[in-house]
Amino acid sequence: MKRILKTIGIGALSISATFFTLGQLQAAEVIKIGAVAPKTGPLAGGSTVSHWPNLKLWVSQVNGRGGLKLKSGRAKIELIEYDDRTNPGETIKAVQRLATQDKVDFIISPYGTGLNLAAAPIFAKYGYPQIAVTAITDKVPALTKRYPNLFFLLGNTTAFTQSVADILKKLVADGKIGNRVAMVNVADAFGIELANAARPIFKAAGLDIVYDKSYPLGTQDLSPVVKGAKAANPDAFIAWSYPPDTFGLTAQAKIVGLNVKAFYTAVATAFPVYAGKFGGAIENVLGAGGVNPDSAEMKAYRKAHKEVTGKDADYWASPVVYASLQILEQAIEAVGSKDRKAVTAHIKANSFNTVIGPVRFNNQNNDKFWTVGQWQNGVFHGVSSTGRPGAKTVKLKSGW
């Protein structure tokens, strides 16, 4: 059972908090865990698919087992949730409040690259391990050197762009497509960094970027962007996009007839609701991430996710978010206490069994991750990775 605290105003901060009471938990001890991510704003669509349901699943499972195993006994989770409204300033305020006023034992990493980077100094200041699960950047070496408590799980920019370039290069070499690429990106930390990385990588792969356009986060009308891409007569369309624009760009591509044999959009391409909205039209659409849906661990995870949350997990970030929670759980139980410094040290030094496979951080970075997936027969399969098994062969798209 749970009760929802009333909204508490802190400047423009929108806050909602969920607590499990001591009496209801009937545990000798409680472990307080905070979470801040969008429930409103441009990134809420992604966060409510990949982030929040996995927290619900994990808390339900842990508390259902009697809580986390500490040396002092089992401790059930008391979860405090804040909505940052997709605003970096609000993310910072919420993390600060969790640390100084709520005095939580641990804080779950925010959602999205920009919000994770904005919050990193606060996590570091108060000594909280930050497993930045939904963040992609090439600045990992510099950031982990600056913040010894910061871990990256989802991948880096170069790997994602290089994988896309390698796929296109092979299709060109096999004579299946030409080398003309239309590339667009959301003007956010995520999209800007990916586009900047892609330009020299695509050039080195012999790809000709014939259209290169950015658009602001939250753009409602993407028809000019897609019409411009079509006018450039590309053989492939690549969008470094966030959820709202992934849907918008795909819808506009159908409307204007942007028929390319390699069509790629980034975040949210792996969402079940993406397939629900566009149906069979997305067959062979490429996107960021992917999974091996045939593994026993993934099948069990997806089944539990549906049973507990009532929603289907997505085929990329959802299981990675869940894996980050598994890592935190295993580290806390191995240490046997709420000692954040010891938990951080354990994460650095050990391997973890997760739903995405074994994870061991190399200089605080996970170097085995899916980079590109593709919708094939109603499932988003991984087709390229940096070391995960089960990749499918890339297929050409044929119209909408």
Are 30 and 101 members of one domain?
Answer: yes
Query: Do 170 and 250 fall into the same domain?
Result: yes
Confidence at residue 19, expressed as pLDDT on a 0 to 100 scale: 44
Q: Which two tokens stand for residue 217?
A: 């986060």
Domain identity same for 119 and 42: yes
Give the side-chain half-sphere CA count within 13 A for 51.
25
Q: Answer yes or no: is 249 within a domain.
A: yes
- Rounded distance between C-alpha atoms, residue 203 and residue 218, angstroms: 29
Per-residue three-class SS string for 29-92: EEEEEEEEECCCCCCHHHHHHHCHHHHHHHHHHHHHCCCEEECCEEEEEEEEEEECCCCHHHHH
User: How many domains does the chain fold into?
Assistant: 2
Q: Are residues 366 and 380 in the same domain?
A: no
What CA–CA distance (Å, rounded) separates 225 from 279? 23
Is the same domain home to 74 and 222?
no
Backbone angles phi, psi at 114, to 5 degrees: -60, -40
pLDDT of residue 11: 41
Domain shared by 145 and 103, yes or no: yes
Q: Judge if 235 and 381 occupy the same domain.
A: yes
Report the predicted TM-score, pTM, of the whole model to 2 decimal places. 0.88
Q: What pLDDT shows up at residue 23?
A: 41
Residue 81: which residues within 8 A CB-CB, separation 6 or more? 16, 17, 18, 34, 35, 36, 52, 55
Strands lying side by side in the sheet with 379-385:
208-215, 180-186, 236-240, 262-265, 286-288, 370-376, 379-385
**Same domain, residue pair 64 and 114:** yes
In a domain, 364, yes or no: yes
Same domain, 134 and 17: yes
Q: Are residues 237 and 380 in the same domain?
A: yes
Q: Could you tell me if residue 71 is inside a domain?
A: yes
What pLDDT is recorded for position 28? 57
Report if residue 397 sits inside a domain: no
Instruction: Identify the CATH number of the domain in which residue 92 sits.
Output: 3.40.50.2300
Nearest to 143 by CA among 160, 128, 130: 130
- Predicted local distance difference test score (pLDDT) of residue 10: 38
Q: Is residue 395 part of a domain?
A: no
Q: Is residue 40 helix, strand or coil?
A: coil
Backbone Cα Rg of the chain: 21
Check whether residue 131 and residue 171 sit in a common domain.
no
Dihedral sign, CA of 154, 156, 159, 161? positive
Asked if residue 224 and residue 248 are part of one domain, the reply reads: yes
Query: CA-CA distance, 61 to 394, in Å (whole number)?
Result: 36
CA–CA separation, 117 and 134 (whole Å): 11
**Cβ atoms of residues 42 and 242 within 8 Å:** yes
pLDDT in tens, the chain (400 residues): 333 333 333 344 444 444 444 444 444 599 999 999 999 999 999 999 999 999 999 999 999 999 999 999 999 999 999 999 999 999 999 999 999 999 999 999 999 999 999 999 999 999 999 999 999 999 999 999 999 999 999 999 999 999 999 999 999 999 999 999 999 999 999 999 999 999 999 999 999 999 999 999 989 999 999 999 999 999 999 999 999 999 999 999 999 999 999 999 999 999 999 999 999 999 999 999 999 999 999 999 999 999 999 999 999 999 999 999 999 999 999 999 999 999 999 999 999 999 999 999 999 999 999 999 999 999 999 999 999 999 999 999 999 9
Domain range for 179 is 158-292+371-385
